[in-house]
Every structure is written in C-alpha cells, then in structure tokens.
Amino acid sequence: MKRLQGKVAVITGAGRKKGLGEAIAQGFAAEGAVVVLTDIGAASGPHLTADNIGTTAEMEEVAAGIRASTGGSVATMTCDVRSEDDIKRVVADTVKQFGSLDVVVNNAGVGYIMKPLTEFSIEEWDLVLNVNLRGPFLFTKHAGAAMIKQAQAGRRGGRIINIASQAAKSAAPQLIAYSSSKHGMIGLTRTSAVELAPHGITVNAVCPNHVTTGLGAKQNAFRGKAIGATTHEEIIAFRTAKIPLGRVGLANDTAKVCVFLASDEAAYVTGEAMNVSGGEEMH
Ligand SMILES: NC(=O)c1ccc[n+]([C@@H]2O[C@H](COP(=O)([O-])OP(=O)(O)OC[C@H]3O[C@@H](n4cnc5c(N)ncnc54)[C@H](O)[C@@H]3O)[C@@H](O)[C@H]2O)c1
C-alpha cells in the first residue's frame, strides 16, 4: 500500500518547473495521492511577471510530466492565493471532483524582492505578505472548514503543510518582507495546529534553506553580486561552506519531508517548524 493512497492533496504555487511545488507533487503522486496542482497562471503586476511565476501552460507541462513518471492522477486549477474567491473555488471544486480534501500544501511564495529595509515600498511589503502569509491563512481557514466537516462525517484527519523557510527562523538581510512573512507563517502554523487538533487535523511548517529553484536562482544572482561571485559555482560554494552536511538542499529533500508529514506516520506531529537545511539551521 502506498503511503498516501486514497488522499487528495492541493498544492499552491506548483506550476513552475524545478520548483518545490513540482517536487512535492511528484512525491505525493508517487505515493498514491490524487494531486491538484494550483498556480496563479498569468502575470499580474510589476513583480509577478511571467519569468517569476508558473503560467497555465507551464503548469500543464508540470502535470503531464508527473502523470507520465508516476501514472498518478494529477489535476490543475488556477488559483491566485491573494483571492479568497479563488481559494474557496479550489476547495469546493476539489471536494466536488475528488470526494475529499485531505492535504493542503501552502507553497506559493514571493522571495525575490531584495532591497534594504529603508527602500522597501509599502506595495512590495503588501504583495509579499499577501502571497506568503494572507494566502496561507485563507487556505487554512477554508480547507480547515472542509476538513472539519469531513472529520465530523468520520473521515481520517487532514493535513496542512506550510512551506516556510530558513528565513522563518533567522534574519535574512535585504528580505524584510519575506523574512517577516515566513516568521509569521510559524505563528499561523502553531495557532492553527492548536485550533484544528481536536478534529484530528495536523498543521506543520517546513523550513528549507537554499534550493536552486526559479526563486532560488533570483536570490543567487542578488547574493552573488553582494559577495563578488561571478559564477553559479562560486555562489553555491559560498552557501555550501555554511552547511554541515556539505551540500545545498534539493527540492526533493523538502518533498520527502512533506510526504512524511502528509502520511499517517506523522499523525502525532503537529505545530512543528521542521528544518530541512543540512544542519545549517538547528533551532
Ligand atoms: N528556493 C528556495 O531556496 C526556498 C527556500 C525556502 C523556502 N522556499 C519557499 O518555497 C516555496 C516555493 O518556492 P520555490 O523556491 O519553489 O520557487 P518557485 O518560484 O518555483 O515557486 C513559487 C511559486 O509561487 C507562485 N506564486 C507567486 N505568487 C502567487 C500567487 N499570488 N498565487 C498563486 N501562486 C503564486 C509562483 O507562480 C510560483 O509557481 C515558496 O514559498 C518559497 O518561499 C524556497
């Protein structure tokens, strides 16, 4: 029996190749879950440009790749996590089409607006907080309500997994909104874990360190300039030097932890903020 057989999982921000969302979806589908990939689908405003987001076409390619490699059931839905209506629609449509909603992974995030605190605009702050913290709050609220209803009807407990960051635990200079939003995500995780526990629903956060995704590559370009690194290898060597296990993280490192947290094996784990950082972060 596969570890997530019979579970239906929604993952936000999962429409980008090489992203953590793609890897998590791949891991879930390989373990037998029905997976609903969601992403914003189209560019929107000055920062959510086509080169920073998962377009509808890219999300369909991600879905096709996962179906081909796992033989699993993978659906796609557009969802801008800044929109409560979009979130309500995804929750309702998932339950209608697949019979339940058992796992939500709040993965969508904006992490590439890097500048000093004194230059950060209120529009930039609002965008980052709206995507990284308000969206997960709204998803937890509406998916949590659906999971409570399922629990009352006798279905096994739900799982909510928040993709936070190393920046949820330590200061990340020039990332004031990102680091603040990810620290906030731990408060959201702990509070919703306590409130949803009586219904058998667990809520946990995962805190990866650097992974070279689309978002990670943008951070590399910025940090590279700051340390005078001119090549990808130099910036990765700089990052690796701080990691006890001697390599930067891979998307699959995070995906494996998410599979565990989504599985029945993690039934007694809730309110955690689990580092996936090769020992770089230990608290
Ligand atoms: N890559 C890293 O180093 C790293 C480390 C720690 C945590 N994270 C977190 O992992 C998550 C995934 O990031 P990634 O590195 O895979 O980058 P990514 O760019 O591949 O994924 C981010 C996704 O969020 C989506 N998104 C942005 N705004 C959205 C909105 N309004 N509605 C819906 N979707 C939206 C994008 O379209 C994109 O698909 C993020 O929350 C990020 O903060 C990444």
- pLDDT tens string 248-259: 999 999 999 999
Tell me what pLDDT residue 274 has.
98
Best residue among 180, 183, 213, 258 to mutate for probing ligand 1, ranked by most atoms within 8 Å of CB: 213
Tell me what pLDDT residue 78 has.
98
Q: What tokens does 242 get?
A: 């701080």
Closest ligand 1 atom to residue 20 Cα is 16
Tell me what pLDDT residue 155 has.
82
pTM (whole model) above 0.85: yes
Tell me what pLDDT residue 157 has.
87
**In percent, how much of the chain has pLDDT > 90?**
97
Q: How far apart, in whole angstroms, are the C-alpha atoms of residue 188 and residue 222?
A: 29
Per-residue pLDDT tens over the stretch 200-258: 999 999 999 999 999 999 999 998 988 999 899 999 999 999 999 999 999 999 999 99
Per-residue pLDDT tens over the stretch 29-42: 999 999 999 999 99
Taking 90 as the threshold, does the pLDDT of residue 279 lie above it? yes
Mean pLDDT of 169-194: 97
182 annotated active-site: yes
Residue whose CA is at the smallest distance from ligand 1 atom 7: 165
Q: What is the mean pLDDT of the chain?
A: 97
Best CA proximity match to 263, nearest among 156, 137, 172 = 156
The ligand 1 site (C-beta within 6 Å) comprises 12-13, 15-16, 19-21, 39-40, 48, 53-54, 79-82, 107-111, 131, 163, 165, 208, 210-211, 213-216
Per-residue pLDDT tens over the stretch 109-121: 999 999 999 999 9
Closest ligand 1 atom to residue 219 Cα is 3
Strands 159-163 and 273-276, bridge-based pairing: unpaired
Tell me what pLDDT residue 63 has.
98
Q: How confident is the model at residue 262 (pLDDT cuts 50, 70, 90)?
A: very high
Tell me what pLDDT residue 111 has.
96
Q: Domains, the chain, ranges and CATH?
A: 8-206+249-276 (3.40.50.720), 210-247 (no CATH)
The active-site residue, picked from 178, 218, 256, 268, is 178
Taking 90 as the threshold, does the pLDDT of residue 156 lie above it? no
